[in-house]
Chain A
């Protein structure tokens, strides 16, 4: 079975400082991993995805994530936080082997990012 653990339910940073949102995954086979962002009362927007190509993945709005198989991690980072980054972030795994019937995404429980002046 596939699963995702987001280690922090809340992260608070000051504007202009780095962001680190942690994610560990469990998957029986080679997973595909995603980070989605949800701004208040909005839908989910894809930030970036890993699909077994380069292990360092660059996404929108300056975010990037590194796939580390030995650590089963896919942490999300950004060098300098902006007020507009305040949102809920979801780490998501999709296990290709399980998709005998559908592209099933398994979501983490989310990390609420707060950005302070």
Chain B
């Protein structure tokens, strides 16, 4: 069984479009995250939700809007896509939002904006 899953795996779209990426975890974790990995493979946190509540928002443009319908799901909606949004987006989860817990990552969604 896949622990953290993301859909779609690949997403190619044009500038100005709106798109969503979905994430689901079946680990029973309370906390979920979105990370962006740029072309140089640098990973940076974007958002974190704990039990559907936003707890980390790392100065991400407001074109990015995360939504957590329940604690097993964290979706990422992106409005007015720009070329610079091209990256791999990873979803992750951890048991709690505090403490020494590792995070479990999904397989990633490669977004290409043309």
Q: Spell out A's residues near B (CB within 8 Å).
A: 32, 34, 36, 38, 42-46, 49, 51-52, 88, 90, 94, 96, 99, 101-105, 107, 109-110
Asked if A43 contacts B100 (CB within 8 A), the reply is: no
Binds A, one of B37-45, B63-71, B79-87: B37-45
B1 to chain A, nearest CB (A): 15
With the chains together, A45 CA to B20 CA distance in Å?
A: 24
Asked if A101 contacts B102 (CB within 8 A), the reply is: no
From the candidates A38, A45, A52, name the one contacting B100 in the complex (CB within 8 A): A52
Asked if A107 contacts B100 (CB within 8 A), the reply is: no
Given A90-B43, A110-B41, A43 contacting B105 (CB threshold 8 A) = yes
8 further A-B contacts with Cβ under 8 Å, apart from A32-B100, A102-B55, A103-B101, are A34-B102, A43-B105, A44-B92, A45-B105, A99-B97, A101-B56, A103-B48, A104-B45
From the candidates B41, B98, B102, name the one contacting A46 in the complex (CB within 8 A): B102
Q: Spell out B's residues near A (CB within 8 Å).
A: 4, 31, 40-45, 48, 50, 55-56, 90, 92, 94, 96-108
With the chains together, A42 CA to B103 CA distance in Å?
A: 15
Given A43-B90, A44-B90, A49-B102, A103 contacting B96 (CB threshold 8 A) = yes
Nearest B residue to A112 by beta-carbon distance?
Answer: B41
Asked if A43 contacts B101 (CB within 8 A), the reply is: no
Asked if A43 contacts B97 (CB within 8 A), the reply is: no
Contacts of B41 in A (CB 8 A): 38, 88, 109-110
With the chains together, A45 CA to B108 CA distance in Å?
A: 12
Asked if B100 contacts A49 (CB within 8 A), the reply is: yes
**6 residue pairs, one from A and one from B, having the closest CB atoms:** A51-B100, A102-B56, A32-B100, A44-B105, A107-B43, A102-B55
Cβ contacts A to B, 6 pairs, < 8 Å: A51-B100, A99-B97, A99-B99, A103-B96, A104-B56, A110-B41
Asked if B42 contacts A105 (CB within 8 A), the reply is: no
Contacts of B92 in A (CB 8 A): 44
B19 to chain A, nearest CB (A): 20
Contacts of A32 in B (CB 8 A): 100
Given A43-B90, A103-B31, A110-B41, A96 contacting B103 (CB threshold 8 A) = no
